[in-house]
Chain A
Amino acid sequence: MSDMSARSSVLIDSLTLGFSTRETMKHAVLILGAIVVLLPFYVMVSYSLKAPAEIMQQTGGFLGSQEPFRDDFCVKLGNAVEDCMVNPIVYNYTTAFEKAPLVRYLLNGVIVTVSIFLIQVIVALPCAYALAKLKFWGREAVFGLVLFCLLIPVHAIALPLYIMLAKLGLTNSYAALIIPWTISVFGIFLMRQFFMTVPDDLIDAARMDGMSEYSIVWNVMLPTAIPALMAFGIFSVVAHWNDYFWPRIVITGNRDLFTPPLGLREFKGDADGDNFGPMMATACIIVTPLIVAFLLAQRRFIEGITLSGMK
Chain B
Amino acid sequence: MKKLTTAMALALLAGPTLAEDKIVIEFAYPYSHLFDVTYEKILPKFYEAHPNIEVKMRATYESYEDGTNTILRESVAGTLPDVTMQGLNRQAILVEKGIAKSLEPFIAEEADFAKDGYHRAMLDLGTFEGDVHGLPFSISLPVSYYNMETMAKAGYTTENLPTTWEEVIAACVALKEAGVDNPVFWGWNITGNWFLQALMWSQDKPTVMGTDFTLDEPEGLTALNTMHDIFRGCEMQNLEWKAALASFAAGDVGMMFWSTSAVGAVERSMGDFTLVTNEFPGLTDKGPMGLPAGGNSAMLVSTSEDPAELDAAWKWLKFITSGEGAADVARTTGYMPPNQAANEIILADFYAENPTKATAVRQLPLLREWQAYPGDNGLAATQVIYDALEGIVTGEFDDMEELQEELSEEVQDLLPTGS
User: From residue 264 to 282 of chain A, which have CB atoms closer than 8 A to chain B?
Assistant: 265-275
| Cα separation A248 to B73 with both chains bound (whole Å) | 12
Q: Are A166 and B73 in contact (CB under 8 A)?
A: yes
Q: Are A76 and B245 in contact (CB under 8 A)?
A: no
Given contacts A52-B268, A162-B73, contact A252 B331 (CB under 8 A): no
- Taking CB atoms, residues of chain B closer than 8 Å to A57 are 246, 249-251, 269-271
**Binary interface profile of A, 75-92, with partner B (CB < 8 Å = 1, else 0)?**
011100000000000000
- Taking CB atoms, residues of chain B closer than 8 Å to A268 are 31-33, 62-63
Give how many A-B residue pairs fall within 8 Å (CB-CB): 128
Q: Are B79 and A56 in contact (CB under 8 A)?
A: no
**Binary interface profile of A, 155-178, with partner B (CB < 8 Å = 1, else 0)?**
000010011011101011000000
* A306 part of interface (Cβ distance < 8 Å): no
* A132 part of interface (Cβ distance < 8 Å): no
* B278 part of interface (Cβ distance < 8 Å): no
Given contacts A58-B250, A272-B334, contact A255 B57 (CB under 8 A): yes
Q: How many residues of A contact B (CB 8 A)?
A: 42
Q: Are A272 and B261 in contact (CB under 8 A)?
A: yes
A247 → chain B closest CB, angstroms: 10
Q: Which residue of B lies closest to A54 (CB)?
A: B269
Q: Are A273 and B59 in contact (CB under 8 A)?
A: no
Q: Are B261 and A253 in contact (CB under 8 A)?
A: no
Q: Which residue of B lies closest to A171 (CB)?
A: B77
Q: Are A166 and B269 in contact (CB under 8 A)?
A: no
- Taking CB atoms, residues of chain B closer than 8 Å to A78 are 41
* B174 part of interface (Cβ distance < 8 Å): no
User: From residue 10 to 55 of chain B, which have CB atoms closer than 8 A to chain A?
Assistant: 26, 28, 31-34, 36-37, 40-41
In-complex Cβ contact of A271 among B26, B76, B259 (8 A): B259
Q: Are B73 and A252 in contact (CB under 8 A)?
A: yes
- Taking CB atoms, residues of chain A closer than 8 Å to B79 are 166, 171-172, 252-253
Q: Are A252 and B59 in contact (CB under 8 A)?
A: yes
Q: Are B58 and A271 in contact (CB under 8 A)?
A: no
Q: Are A255 and B262 in contact (CB under 8 A)?
A: no
Q: Are B271 and A53 in contact (CB under 8 A)?
A: yes
| Cα separation A265 to B36 with both chains bound (whole Å) | 12
Q: Are B270 and A53 in contact (CB under 8 A)?
A: yes
Q: Which residue of B lies closest to A266 (CB)?
A: B32
Q: Are B190 and A271 in contact (CB under 8 A)?
A: yes
In-complex Cβ contact of A253 among B32, B58, B251 (8 A): B58
* A73 part of interface (Cβ distance < 8 Å): yes
Given contacts A56-B250, A172-B79, A255-B58, contact A271 B73 (CB under 8 A): no
Give the interface size class of chain B. 35 or more
In-complex Cβ contact of B266 among A58, A273, A274 (8 A): A273
| Cα separation A55 to B70 with both chains bound (whole Å) | 32
* B78 part of interface (Cβ distance < 8 Å): yes
* B264 part of interface (Cβ distance < 8 Å): yes
Q: Are A72 and B264 in contact (CB under 8 A)?
A: yes
Q: Are B34 and A269 in contact (CB under 8 A)?
A: yes
Q: Are A265 and B268 in contact (CB under 8 A)?
A: no
* A14 part of interface (Cβ distance < 8 Å): no
* A254 part of interface (Cβ distance < 8 Å): yes
Given contacts A273-B266, A274-B242, contact A76 B190 (CB under 8 A): no
* A251 part of interface (Cβ distance < 8 Å): yes
B2 → chain A closest CB, angstroms: 13
* B265 part of interface (Cβ distance < 8 Å): yes
User: From residue 345 to 377 of chain B, which have CB atoms closer than 8 A to chain A?
Assistant: none
In-complex Cβ contact of A252 among B70, B258, B261 (8 A): B70
Given contacts A77-B40, A252-B70, A266-B32, contact A53 B259 (CB under 8 A): no
Q: Are A77 and B268 in contact (CB under 8 A)?
A: no
* B164 part of interface (Cβ distance < 8 Å): no
| Cα separation A261 to B333 with both chains bound (whole Å) | 26
* B74 part of interface (Cβ distance < 8 Å): yes
* B332 part of interface (Cβ distance < 8 Å): yes
B67 → chain A closest CB, angstroms: 10
Name 17 interchain pairs, CB-CB below 8 A, sorted by A: A52-B268, A53-B268, A56-B246, A56-B270, A57-B271, A58-B246, A72-B264, A76-B41, A249-B73, A270-B241, A271-B187, A271-B241, A272-B34, A273-B34, A273-B245, A273-B268, A274-B33
| 18 extra A-B contacts, CB within 8 A, seeds A52-B268, A269-B34 | A53-B268, A56-B250, A57-B250, A57-B270, A72-B264, A77-B37, A99-B36, A159-B73, A162-B73, A162-B77, A163-B76, A166-B73, A252-B79, A265-B62, A268-B31, A269-B265, A271-B259, A273-B268
Rank and list the top 4 A-B pairs by shortest CB-CB distance, nearest first. Answer: A273-B265, A166-B77, A56-B269, A57-B250
